[in-house]
Structure 1
Amino acid sequence: MSSADKILVIGPSWVGDMVLAQSLFKQLKSVQPACQIDVAAPAWTLPLLARMPEVSQAIALPFKHGQLALRERWQFGRSLMAQHYTQAILLTNSLKSAILPWAAGIPLRTGFKGELRYGLVNDMRPLDKSQLKQTVERFVALGLKPRTALPTVLPQPALVAEAANAKRLQHAFKLDAFKPILGLCPGAEYGEAKRWPAEYYAQVANQALETGWQVLLFGSEKDKPVTASIQQLTQQRCVDLAGQTSLGDAIDLMSMCQRVISNDSGLMHVAAALNKKLVAIYGSSDPKHTPPMHPDAVIAYLGLTCSPCFKRVCPLGHLNCLRQLTPDQVLPSLALSSIKPAP
């Protein structure tokens, strides 16, 4: 690689995966600090990429999720030829994602062996899942030369919140600057088998509120039923942010939290990348596959014989992997009493 290398990364479509992709960006910069990293990804990821100092430019892809649009992808790729990228790294394994860098005439196109991508990807890497067990390991591996061992310690994602926007949001949501904040992330896009019961979140919230904390409920529009349930069980004393914030606003608000509890979700990875004291709750998924990338994160996982099943809904109907993980088991990790409101 030369000092003038320009790298185009075809990014993933999930919040958590995009956070983990920052480990790749950091790895690339550690080897070649002067390289330019541009990321092409769905438009909603742009606020996330804007908080990654390693990314020079975020390019919004105009395609709908799952849309093949082969002609449009080829045309979009041709529009990038003037950028003179020296390498493309594909973090997705689909055929359609390989069309854009090929059409852009990028000479080195790196990716794992995927569906019918021969020729489109000319630096094809085999994916040995027994060796690269974690998503973040697979991303970082694509930034290394073939057959190169992974670093002993992988670069840790580190988002940089926008302080001015955080201050604006503090006023907008009437947050007390002198009280510590507990962030709760009770949603999970994948399904209910990844969601700790709302009543458990409410028990933790009530404990925090009674200790003098403020509690923020993070989530998307789809999480409103869950956050509304928590609000009902806490006498409307939390700040319900579900559907009220953009992704960028959610990141900046979370940067103000002293503690965060989250299901295995994109916001869990955001909290870890913001260096928050985090308790990550796992049910149907596997913490060995997509753990939060922070050495101090606490993983709450029972590891029952039926876990992980990777199902959206508990196939046995009992959801014991989450229901048997009680608030009493989680609260000690938060150490709420270690931080007191200012007098």
Structure 2
Amino acid sequence: MKKILVIRFSSIGDIVLTTPVLRCIKQQLPDAELHFLVKKSFAPVLIANPYIDKLHLFEDDLTVITDSLKKENFDFIVDLHHNLRTLRVKRALAVKSKSFNKLNVQKWLLTALKINVLPDKHIVDRYLEAAAPLGVVNDGKGLDYFIPENEKIADSDLPAAHQLGYIGLVIGAAHATKRMPVEKLEELVGLLDHPIILLGGPEDKATGARLEATDPIKVYNACGKFSLNESADLVRRAKLIISNDTGLMHIAAAFRKPVISLWGNTVPEFGMYPYYGKRSFNQVLPFEIVERKGLRCRPCSKIGYDACPKGHFKCMREIPVPAIRTLVQQWLLKA
């Protein structure tokens, strides 16, 4: 029996994007024992994943968890984070390992010089390359997300107006330059003629309240009211998801939901657009990318900033909201 450790410390979306690696390892190497090392705050993303035999959690200090990991006697490490901290873990465990290629030079060329030499390859496929020495290949089935039974949403948890169906609008993101400004969100909410549930964390509650106030019957502010897994279940129940480039977008793809993805300072060329695998929807992938093309300053970062470095934030402020409404109408007609 092989004992395998997969490492990805954070964050929500990046961890969800590792799930094909976990499934493929366990299904293609059924005798393998699979462990996962992740920050404790992100454990809910993986807590119900049936392909993981043991989760190893840490907060800030890796020393204690590294001592614990040494006792496991792993045969192989799949490093899907690939930074100095994972290098410390690999050196301490001193077993064979493979890291995924972060393509940092290529990303720098695109953000700093606007020269795009990035491969046309999703990050999921690059993650799977790190498992290739184990003989693991992509099964084409896309992402997974598993919700504990006790965190699933009942109809009674939703307003009556939303119990027969709704659009999920993800208003949060870790960095401000990935978030659509509230004025643009107000315009979008006003144009949509369908029940809407706003999704985000406690930090998005005030923005959600402002949007809900525009039409308290149509708009329900769920930001900060539900756990991560409960929010994931709201995504699962939605007819359609409109989302910034953030974790709930990837959770939506895991549930095979149609996604309209909104891109600000980051770009899909980084390889983190919604991923559905290669065996979904008769090759017609259910997502749309909405972005402001042609800006010389975009992308300005591979991650994001607290504010637009140029001060104008055109990448989000110039996204055509009526075009989003048109895409919504088209997808709802297909539903």
TM-score interval (norm. to shorter)? 0.7 to 0.9
Pairs aligned (count): 307
Are 1:76 and 2:65 an aligned pair? yes
Q: Which residue of 1 aligns with 2:196?
A: 215
Match of 1:254 among 211, 235, 256: 235
Q: Which residue of 1 aligns with 2:151?
A: 165
Offset of residue 163 of structure 1: 5.6
Q: Which residue of 2 aligns with 1:231?
A: 212
Tell me the amino acid that sits aligned with residue 57 of structure 1: K
Tell me the amino acid that sits aligned with residue 236 of structure 2: S
Q: 1:38 to 1:91 in 2, by over 3 A?
A: same
User: RMSD in angstroms over aligned alpha carbons?
Assistant: 3.0
Unaligned regions of 5+ residues in structure 2, if any? Answer: 103-116, 277-284
* TM-superposition CA deviations, 1:257-311 (whole Å, max 9, x none): 1111000111111111121111000011011211111332111122223222225
After superposition, where does 1:101-250 map in structure 2 within 5 Å? 101-103=90-92, 105=93, 107-111=95-99, 130-131=118-119, 134-145=122-133, 155-162=141-148, 165-168=151-154, 170-175=155-160, 178-191=163-176, 193-208=177-192, 211=193, 213-235=194-216, 237-250=218-231
After superposition, where does 1:234-313 map in structure 2 within 5 Å? 234-235=215-216, 237-289=218-270, 290-294=272-276, 295-306=285-296, 307-310=298-301, 311-312=304-305, 313=307
8 Å CA contact 1:157, 1:273 repeated in 2: yes
* TM-superposition CA deviations, 1:27-76 (whole Å, max 9, x none): 3235323323221101122221134332222221132xxxxx4xxx3442
8 Å CA contact 2:242, 2:260 repeated in 1: yes
Tell me the amino acid that sits aligned with residue 171 of structure 1: S
TM-score, structure 2 normalization:
0.80
1: CA distance, partners of 2:324 / 2:120: 30
TM-score, structure 1 normalization:
0.78
1: CA distance, partners of 2:320 / 2:313: 12
1: CA distance, partners of 2:12 / 2:208: 20
% identity of equivalent residues: 21
Q: 1:137 to 1:206 in 2, by over 3 A?
A: same
Q: 1:90 to 1:231 in 2, by over 3 A?
A: same
Q: Which residue of 1 aligns with 2:8?
A: 11
Tell me the amino acid that sits aligned with residue 254 of structure 1: V
Match of 1:60 among 53, 57, 60: 57
Offset of residue 155 of structure 1: 4.8
Q: 1:132 to 1:142 in 2, by over 3 A?
A: farther
Tell me the amino acid that sits aligned with residue 26 of structure 1: R
